[in-house]
Amino acid sequence: MIRYLFLVIIFLLPFQFALNPGDNIDLGVTRILVPVVFLFWFLEGLAKRNIWIANWVESWLILSFLFLSLFSLWAGLDPEKGVRKVLYLFSIFPIFFVAADLAREVKFRTKIFRAIWISGTLAALVGIVQFLLPFAVGLNSALTIWKKITPLFLGSSFGELVINNPSWLVNVSGKTWMRAFGFFPDPHTFSFFMGLCFFICLGYFAWEKKWKRKVLAGISTVFMFLATVLSFSRGAYLGMLLGSLFFFIILAVKFFGKTGKIAIVGVTLAFLLSIFFQETIQNRLTSVFNPKEGSNIERIKNWKQALEIVRNYPLSGIGLGNYTFISILLRKSVRQSMLIILFLT
């Protein structure tokens, strides 16, 4: 039962639909399944008098993160703003301890890899179709279709927020294209998920012995790569480039001699550069260093606000969930200061 539900969670990650039990409450289905699976796992461990918890660095890092999140409620400016976020974190992170325990069984670990492979492949296909849809029905019609679909997967309130402030389009070299983002709120979250699945699928491809599954895994890897490219997420490009290089270096070190290692690294790097540095992708990457580019302007503002918060609250911080509130105050104070300066001059 637990194993089946765990695999269902993996499959639903890119396709989870949202429930709306109340006003302004968007409850993703995995938000329910994760606590249920954790509870079943915990009760099963109690019944067997053997609750196995991984004594790993990752376990302690997660526990430390959750502790700091709770501590921020006490040290922050307005604890009520962080309670909902803390509940969200505690409804998601328990899945790590379940996964660590279930993955100890080699056969089931293989099933986990295959579930991630299938989930990532289907999500990639959705993203690719999404990018191609405007070429068939027109950009405005494609946007209308996705605006109708979005509330089903993100919820009514969050879906409306995303629809009113979308990052679904990209303008590259004077052309406006629809980005691949699947059923995620934005292309960046989508490409992050693709990156996680891509390297797991790539590892499965290298490990699998049966040629039919190896071919399917290879095709899936290509789909995930294309979906990441079509997301036009610059961070995803850099992550894919560096991650692929690191992966093939590790693979070369394990299976090939010194000459083979150098050759594989060189060929891999040349292949990746030839793909990523085509004109469209190159323009997208070089825009990272353009301080006048729209998204960069907003990021720079956020960085300045974050530095201001660190300067004013160096030890305790402002508390989980308070950044939006304090950033609004900072913007007001900046505007007020500018008005005073203008008045005095």
For residue 321, tell me if it sits in a domain: yes
Residue among 118, 126, 114 nearest 227 (CA) = 126
For residue 325, tell me if it sits in a domain: yes
| Average pLDDT of span 118-134 | 93
**Higher local confidence (pLDDT), 258 or 319:** 319
- Per the structure, how many domains does the chain have? 1
For residue 306, tell me if it sits in a domain: yes
Confidence at 132, pLDDT banded by 50, 70, 90 = very high
**Higher local confidence (pLDDT), 289 or 97:** 97
Q: Which amino acid is at 232?
A: F
Confidence at 336, pLDDT banded by 50, 70, 90 = very low
**Domain limits at 326?**
294-344
Q: Percent of the chain at pLDDT above 90?
A: 13
Q: Is the pLDDT of residue 291 over 80?
A: no
Number of H helices, E strands in the chain: 15, 4
Point out the least confidently predicted range of 41-55, 118-132, 191-205, 305-319: 305-319
For residue 233, give both structure tokens: 């997420």
For residue 300, tell me if it sits in a domain: yes
For residue 203, tell me if it sits in a domain: no
111-125, 241-255, 281-295: which is most confident: 111-125
The DSSP line for 19-39 is EEEETTEEEEHHHHHHHHHHH
Confidence at 293, pLDDT banded by 50, 70, 90 = low
Q: Is the pLDDT of residue 263 over 70?
A: no
Q: At residue 261, what are phi and psi to the nearest 5 degrees?
A: -60, -50
CB 323 within 8 A of CB 309: yes
Q: Which pLDDT score is estimated for 203?
A: 84
The residues with which 171 forms a beta bridge, in sequence order, are: 176
**Higher local confidence (pLDDT), 236 or 270:** 236
| Average pLDDT of span 175-196 | 90
Q: Is the pLDDT of residue 1 over 90?
A: no
| Average pLDDT of span 261-287 | 59
CB 124 within 8 A of CB 224: yes
CB 214 within 8 A of CB 204: no
Q: At residue 17, what are phi and psi to the nearest 5 degrees?
A: -95, 160
Q: Which pLDDT score is estimated for 342?
A: 33
Confidence at 119, pLDDT banded by 50, 70, 90 = very high
For residue 143, give both structure tokens: 């946007």
Q: Which pLDDT score is estimated for 334?
A: 39
Confidence at 51, pLDDT banded by 50, 70, 90 = confident
pLDDT tens, position by position, 85-116: 888 888 888 889 999 989 888 889 889 988 99
Q: Which pLDDT score is estimated for 338?
A: 35
For residue 230, tell me if it sits in a domain: no
Q: Is the dihedral of CA 303, 304, 305, 309 positive or negative?
A: positive
For residue 240, tell me if it sits in a domain: no
Q: Which pLDDT score is estimated for 314?
A: 77
Q: Which pLDDT score is estimated for 124?
A: 94
For residue 259, tell me if it sits in a domain: no
Q: Is the pLDDT of residue 72 over 50?
A: yes
Residue among 323, 237, 244, 339 nearest 280 (CA) = 237
